[in-house]
Amino acid sequence: MYTGLALNCDYSTLNLSSKVSLGFVDKANDAAGNMYASDIYAPLCNSSSTSTYLICQVSAFHSCSKNYIHSYLNNPEVQQALHSNVSALPYPWQSCRHWPTSLSILYGKVNRHWKDKTLTVLPIIKEVMDSGIRVWIYNGDTDGALPLSCSKYAINKLGMPIKSAIKVGGYAVGYQNLTFVTVRGAGHSIPSYQQAWALVLFSSFLNGKLPPSARGFDR
């Protein structure tokens, strides 16, 4: 399946419209199953999970959070406070509801006008590092939208020696001017899952230090 996707699907332009490509994409989607891509262990959002979710649990991540955001941002009082929808559009605000189609259109427009685009940001990361600018790359380890394995593969392609490696709520690896951090038990939007560890991550970046390795760290 992987070989079929790699040989028949043009991901550089997001051109997945050929019958052969769509066939392999469908097989991959079937193999992945019905899961929440931003957190592979999270329950799927459904009407019953929405109705039983208590307001006191708002500090915890919930797979229906996009539904709550949709309702909130379509509230006329909220829109008035944000000075949005001043033209009173006849349809509700949507958050990339049909994201594959929207993304294909976006990439099509970008590809027509962006002539010097690169297929990988690794040379850019290397250039930034060589300029002495600190770079941090971080992942939640249950993120399926931007998997941990993808980031590890990309960083390994840079071929940098490891200077330090520690464990915290995941692990941190220090290279030259690059730090790679994972947060255990977090999905795509880390602060939505592990608020305390996200704060430590951000604070450590501002202070130019690796996250603390103390086992007694209280989340």
pLDDT score recorded for residue 109: 61
Q: Is residue 52 part of a domain?
A: no
Q: Is residue 89 part of a domain?
A: no
On the question of pLDDT at 192 being above 70, the answer is yes
From 154, 215, 206, select the one nearest 180 (Cα to Cα). Answer: 154
Report pLDDT digits (tens) over 171-190. Answer: 677 777 888 888 988 998 89
Report pLDDT digits (tens) over 43-54. Answer: 887 755 444 444
On the question of pLDDT at 38 being above 80, the answer is yes
C-alpha separations of 27 from 41, 101, 145 in Å: 21, 19, 18
On the question of pLDDT at 110 being above 80, the answer is no
Q: Is residue 198 part of a domain?
A: yes
Q: Is residue 203 part of a domain?
A: yes
Average of pLDDT values for 52-65?
57
Find the domain containing 151 and state its range. Answer: 122-207
Q: Is residue 142 part of a domain?
A: yes
Q: Give the integer Cα–Cα distance in Å for 213 and 211.
A: 7
Domain of 134, CATH number, reads: 3.40.50.11320
Q: Give the integer Cα–Cα distance in Å for 15 and 174.
A: 37
Q: Is residue 191 part of a domain?
A: yes
43 neighbors 49 (Cβ within 8 angstroms) = yes
H or E element: which one contains 140? Answer: strand 135-140
Q: Is residue 99 part of a domain?
A: no
Q: Give the integer Cα–Cα distance in Å for 187 and 147.
A: 9
Q: Is residue 146 part of a domain?
A: yes
On the question of pLDDT at 82 being above 90, the answer is yes
Report pLDDT digits (tens) over 151-171. Answer: 989 988 988 887 776 554 566
Buried b (16+ CB within 10 A) or exposed e, 6-38: eebbeeeebebeeeebeebbeeeeeeeeeebeb
In total, how many domains does the chain have?
1
